[in-house]
Amino acid sequence: MTNTFLRWWGCGAFDVILGDVNFAFDPYLFGENLKNAEPIYDYIFITHEHFDHCHPQTLKKLCSGERFKKLFVNPGCITPAQPIDKNYGDAAFERDLPITKHVPAEKVQILYPKHLNESQGLDRNFSGPSEITLGPIHVETIESGENQHPELPTCGYLVTHKEKNISFLHTGDLHAPYPALENIKGRIDFLIHMKLGLIDGGGANLSPGLVKLIDLVKPRFLIPTHYRTDRISDPIPEGHWPPNVTDVMAFIEWIRQTVGNKVEVLPFTAGVEYELEMPAKRVLWKWNWFNTWTVPPWREG
């Protein structure tokens, strides 16, 4: 079985290269990364219509070519709350939405959440699909967070490759777990984790929510994303949203300490492609060391 390749691109952007099928969640690229981006994905999944998740410049490049088949979005990407600028403030822009201004409408499909957050209402009936089979993968949705209103829900995506026995849950900007997530318990290898586990801007510790989420869905691995540093190597421009953390090592260890032995934490660095040995799903960690000089600076002449 060919190996799998995973990459966190910064923010909520994450891609999965399985070989027979490749897909990306919330791709959001800039500068050289955007310039060098190739349309290597069969499917792209967008969790919500905010600018840092539904990014026209990136989508215009990736939703093209021979391989690309479909862009799946939550309803707000197509029918955003109007007027956009008034409703969303800085979170979404008239220039970006609906996304069919930038990607041909026949290449875009709305998915609605299947597993609903009761705080938004359990009696909502949406008029479209909440799961779909795409060749070797099956896609099932959960409700995410940051809904503009209950009728414009956001989506998290559970993508399962049955034959390869591997699955991914990208939660979108989920800020709080809810009971219906138990419906997908034990069906997730890789939880691509977003907002929970952070300390929010006001200083509240959101990590109890992360523990609750882990208990509800019981993933095998946890990949923390949607945080950044101001390292020059990070693929998101300096000073840009999402939140900076002051000490990445401490942040990761804080998460590890919080979840204990419930799940294995995989500390991915943004922009680096990680290889998974299949079928074991074991990360082949690669690193090296190098000298920053060849002649010691104290040597004269």
Nearer to Fe ion, 15 or 52 (CB): 52
Nearer to Fe ion, 42 or 173 (CB): 173
Nearer to Fe ion, 96 or 173 (CB): 173
Nearer to Fe ion, 11 or 265 (CB): 11
- Give first-to-last CA distance, the chain, whole Å: 55
Nearer to Fe ion, 143 or 173 (CB): 173
CB of 146 to Fe ion, least distance (A): 7
> Peptide bond before 177: cis, by omega within 30 degrees of 0?
no
- Pairing label, strands 22-25, 43-45: parallel
Nearer to Fe ion, 99 or 137 (CB): 99
Vertex 257, ends 244 and 242: CA angle to 5°? 15
> Can you tell me whether residue 9 is helix, strand or coil?
strand
Vertex 193, ends 188 and 194: CA angle to 5°? 150
Nearest residue to Fe ion, scored by beta-carbon proximity: 173
CB of 48 to Fe ion, least distance (A): 8
CB of 93 to Fe ion, least distance (A): 14
CB of 212 to Fe ion, least distance (A): 20
CB of 107 to Fe ion, least distance (A): 24
Tokens 């359990």 belong to 122
Nearer to Fe ion, 15 or 173 (CB): 173
Helix orientation angle between 207-217 and 248-259, rounded to the nearest 10 degrees: 50
CB of 165 to Fe ion, least distance (A): 30
Which residue, 127, 111, 282, is CA-closest to 189? 282
Largest interatomic CA distance in the chain: 79
CB of 36 to Fe ion, least distance (A): 24
Binding site for Fe ion (CB under 5 A): 52, 173
Write out the DSSP string of 70-116: EEEE-GGGTS--SSHHHHHGGG--TTT-SGGGTS-GGGEEE---SBP
Phi and psi at 70, nearest 5°, equal -155, 145
